[in-house]
A and B are shown apart, each in its own frame.
Chain A
């Protein structure tokens, strides 16, 4: 790890001021990804501004609009087990609990979850080219072992996936990200927060330099009656997804009024296709229609030698997860598939 100057911020304003001194500075919250990247010498900030003790943004509270505001510095564990999240947004709770380990969820914050970097093996291996780590150096994953890589929204520069489970749930729920920065505060719709790699894969999201996530707002509808999160991976716990699916359904009897389907593990951002959700509206909730929606969602998917299986896996996972959403009690801990 490189040597750095440590500063502790007392407020967001203080953090913005301490960060403005120029140079290569990073904000520190839970540290579960940042400290690890620093240990691998992949990130070398000369200053760390510790946000853990800023006043505010450590709470979860109901918004006047009937939604829920998740403070950026609340841990993933406290969020997943918050009574309002469990009751009104169980899809989010399930998604969070499917990710990482209990210890990491006790440390990692909501804001930090959105900002974690890919776990692409080649991004982590400083000995090989990687456009995300070293722009212009090339992509080692395309000609390399690409089992865990993306099948949607890839570019010639990068086929890495975004690793979060929580964000797949937030995407399905249409969350909004609140940020404060040197030029003021703004709100970013969740779908616009993460980005596709294009020819600038070193940029993961649309946060501007110096900006700090202060909260994540959930709209009133949490799809709390019919929801499911399914995570398929090489071992049943504490592993990143090969494919994950978040489903929320609003039903009228067995007719779908509204559907939300988001995928994880398949792209540089949580993957949602509105056309598929619109297709499902008004249809009966059955495997035939879910299968047709899956075909729409996976349209344009391109497999690589070691991950082409993900296309069929994702389609089947969508159908299975939508069927599980009809009976949320069928889910097992850790978002394992029910039998």
Chain B
């Protein structure tokens, strides 16, 4: 006879969680310990947001929640009930590229690409915050996004280009 090693996880523990993801209302039924990251990747089919360390150290899971860049791995989805989330899939219309996506390609701002969705969502959040003016400030305020391929210099180049364009617009 099998012995149950863990408490059974009953569906009764699941609770409705409403999110607006990339403009689309989603009604999910989630256990309270599901992170926003897992809610997006495993329950909403949006795998653009990446799971790097899953401990808030790498920034790969960065999404924009109610206008602010946050780490989806350290957010409980249930706590974000009612929030508007923007992921890498939602930053530009289908078939089009966001200026940062174009700049990342032009500046060769990635190698493996795993950190890229987080880098771009973080950069969008940073520009919205409007606190980084100089290159040194951009580097400081992007330091929560690690690139282990070593494309950091090109990533900052790409962001600086878009930032300068936005200033001139």
Task: Report A's interface with B, CB cutoff 8 A.
Answer: 1-6, 28, 31-32, 35-36, 38-40, 48, 50, 52, 77, 81, 100-104, 106-107, 237-238, 332-334
- In the complex formed, the residue of B with least CB distance to A124 is B55
Please, which residues of chain B bring their CB within 8 A of the CB of A106?
68-70, 125
- At the interface, is chain A mostly helix, strand, loop or mixed? mixed
B137 & A4 in contact (Cβ 8 Å cutoff): no
When the two chains form the complex, which single residue of A48, A77, A104 contacts B32, counting CB atoms closer than 8 Å? A48
Q: A112 CA to B11 CA in the complex, in Å?
A: 31
Q: Which has the most chain B C-beta neighbours within 10 Å: A38, A48, A101, A104?
A: A101
We find that the number of chain B residues with CB closer than 8 angstroms to chain A is 36
Please, which residues of chain B bring their CB within 8 A of the CB of A32?
56, 71, 74
Please, which residues of chain A bring their CB within 8 A of the CB of B144?
100-104, 238
A52 & B69 in contact (Cβ 8 Å cutoff): no
Inter-chain CB contacts under 8 Å: number: 90
Q: Known pairs A35-B74, A332-B136, A334-B143. 5 more at Cβ < 8 A? A: A48-B32, A77-B129, A102-B144, A104-B71, A237-B140
Interface 9-residue window, one of B40-48, B75-83, B91-99, B156-164: B75-83
Complex A-B: 23 CB contacts under 8 Å: A6-B15, A28-B76, A31-B75, A32-B56, A35-B75, A36-B74, A40-B55, A50-B78, A50-B79, A52-B79, A77-B68, A81-B131, A100-B144, A101-B143, A102-B125, A103-B69, A103-B125, A104-B56, A104-B71, A104-B74, A106-B69, A107-B74, A334-B143
A4 & B71 in contact (Cβ 8 Å cutoff): no
Task: Report B's interface with A, CB cutoff 8 A.
Answer: 7, 9, 13, 15, 31-33, 35, 54-56, 59, 62, 68-71, 74-76, 78-79, 122, 125-126, 129, 131, 136-137, 139-145
Q: A52 CA to B71 CA in the complex, in Å?
A: 16
A334 & B140 in contact (Cβ 8 Å cutoff): yes
Q: A32 CA to B72 CA in the complex, in Å?
A: 10
The verdict on A107 contacting B71 (CB below 8 Å), with A36-B55, A238-B143 known, is: yes
A107 & B79 in contact (Cβ 8 Å cutoff): no
Please, which residues of chain B bring their CB within 8 A of the CB of A107?
70-71, 74-75
Please, which residues of chain A bring their CB within 8 A of the CB of B9?
3
When the two chains form the complex, which single residue of A3, A103, A333 contacts B140, counting CB atoms closer than 8 Å? A333
Q: How far is the CB of B84 from chain A (nearest CB, A)?
A: 15
Q: A2 CA to B7 CA in the complex, in Å?
A: 10
Q: A229 CA to B142 CA in the complex, in Å?
A: 20
Please, which residues of chain B bring their CB within 8 A of the CB of A77?
68, 129
- In the complex formed, the residue of A with least CB distance to B61 is A103
Please, which residues of chain B bring their CB within 8 A of the CB of A237?
139-140, 143
